[in-house]
Amino acid sequence: MRIVIIGNGVAGITTARYIRKMSDHEILVISSESDHFFSRTALMYIYMGHMKYEHTKPYEDWFWAKNRIDLKNAFVDKIDFQNKTLFTANQEQISYDKLVIATGSKPNKFGWPGQNLLGVQGLYSKQDVELMEENTKGIKEAVIVGGGLIGIEMAEMLNSRNIKVNFLIREKEYWSNILPKEEAILVGKHIAEHHINLINETELQEIISDDNGRVKSIITKAGKEIPCQFVGLTAGVSPNIDFLKNTDLNTDKGVLVTEYLETNMPDVYALGDCAQFANPKENHPAVEQLWYTAKMQGKALAQTICGKQTIYNRGIWFNSAKFLDIEYQTYGMMLKSPFEDEDSFYWEHQNGKICVRANFSKAEGALRGFNFFGIRFRQTIADEWIRNQKPISYCISNLNKGFFDPEFSKNHHQDIVKSFNIQFNNHQAKAPKKKFLVW
């Protein structure tokens, strides 16, 4: 059986790897972005000079031939689902028995005037980073539009080259459509500390061109003009499925899939950024644009393709990010405000860079989730506590069991417990006594 995978990002490659682990099927991965799988999450480090492209490849180049995963650098622009055939941009035909669509995302552009000018771009692909390298050579000022995770990455990238960054966000605080207010303010202060100019409640009206078709400034909806030689469009990404529109494949924002990642066409599957769950679980997004979910989906899909029908199960939600120098880990379903039946405990260190949030049910005090900023925490512990609905007092008392910061790091457990007991005197927590010389 020949399995063809379009897209060599983490979704497509994870699928390919697990199919190979479980079977001897012929596997072909097609991508027009790069010859080999690389880590998209590391693109920013190439720009900043922390790494070279070579370092972002999780597997050495010989890996693919050795594991009989064929790679092809080509752009698929048409699919004949009836005859199970792909057509590449240079008219090559490729037939498949099973097809996996893992084409990822593309940056959102909302039809702003001037959005296609020179020096205006999004950040998603390897080509985008190469373009950004060109676009930012010798420039002094930049504007970033949209305050999500890619926006802050781009701000950090530009900041590393001493380019003045004006960071336009629609909300009052950075990423406050996702983060609770306290956390959003904490990150906002850190952004200011890096001399990145966060401009809140501001939207882009228009991008202005100079005589050479290159950006020279932007105008906000409030009519303010900000001079800049570069505009980063980072208002989210959307599924990269233009070539599938107007085909027999059911699509909406993304390719519509079941919980088995099956599409409406037989033997055609989709996963990762480009897939959209037709019936998402309550409180779960229909399109999951995460590294972690792509990996899990790939693993589940590989089993289904190899004959063992497997539901994709996200399990206890988790995610992570890094905002400049502050690391962020979240476990459980933590939205910008707790659910109605939940209480929320928040502790922040006086330095304003470290905080913990724990949400728990009002009725039983069962732990629902954690947010950690500037503290590393063990996933195994968080997962187990949330899964088993451990009482919040137990969790706060035993928080030190989950701390994952490097040895000799300062431990804030006592402070956190004290703060918890003041905020919630109906659930008393106890911190273990400090031991001398605990390694």
**Which residues form the interface with other proteins (CB under 8 A)?**
10, 39, 41-42, 45, 48-52, 55-58, 60, 160, 162, 190, 193-195, 291-292, 295-296, 299, 313-315, 318, 320-322, 324-325, 327, 329, 376-380, 383, 387, 404-410, 439
Minimum separation from the CB atom of position 244 to other proteins (A): 27
Q: Distance between CA atoms of 96 and 98, rounded to whole angstroms? A: 5
Name which of 61 and 97 has its Cβ closer to other proteins.
Answer: 61
Nearer to other proteins, 309 or 409 (CB): 409
Identify the CA nearest to 154 among candidates 176, 180, 195, 121.
121
- In the complex with other proteins, the residue whose CB is nearer, 41 or 247, is 41
Where do the H-state alpha helices sit in 253-333? 291-305
H or E, element range at 86: strand 85-88
Find the angle CA(297)-CA(273)-CA(148) to the nearest 5 degrees: 120
- In angstroms, give the least distance from the CB of 337 to other proteins: 25
Contact assessment for residue 381 and residue 402, using Cβ atoms and an 8 Å cutoff: yes
Of 10 and 184, the one with the shorter C-beta distance to other proteins is: 10
Nearer to other proteins, 104 or 338 (CB): 104
Closest distance of CB 359 from other proteins, Å: 20
Q: How far is the CB of 437 from other proteins (least distance, A)?
A: 12
Q: Which DSSP string corresponds to 57-74?
A: -SS-THHHHHTTEEEEE-
CB of 240 to other proteins, least distance (A): 20
- In the bound state with other proteins, the residue whose beta carbon lies nearer, of 48 and 219, is 48
Q: Give the residue carrying structure tokens 């679980």.
A: 281
345 vs 377, beta carbon nearer other proteins = 377
Nearest approach, Cβ of residue 195 and other proteins (Å)? 5
Least distance (Å) from other proteins to the CB of residue 9? Answer: 11
Q: Phi and psi dihedrals of 73, rounded to 5?
A: -95, 100
How many other C-beta atoms can be found within 10 angstroms of the C-beta atom of residue 302?
Answer: 24
Q: Quote the least distance from Cβ 372 to other proteins, whole Å.
A: 8
What is the smallest separation between the CB atom of 279 and other proteins, expressed in angstroms? 19
Question: By C-alpha distance, which of 393, 415, 411 is closest to 403?
Answer: 411
Please report how close the Cβ of residue 48 comes to other proteins at its closest, in angstroms.
5
Nearer to other proteins, 266 or 280 (CB): 280
Q: Which is nearer to other proteins, 56 or 397 (CB)?
A: 56
Residue 205 or 319 with smaller CB distance to other proteins = 319
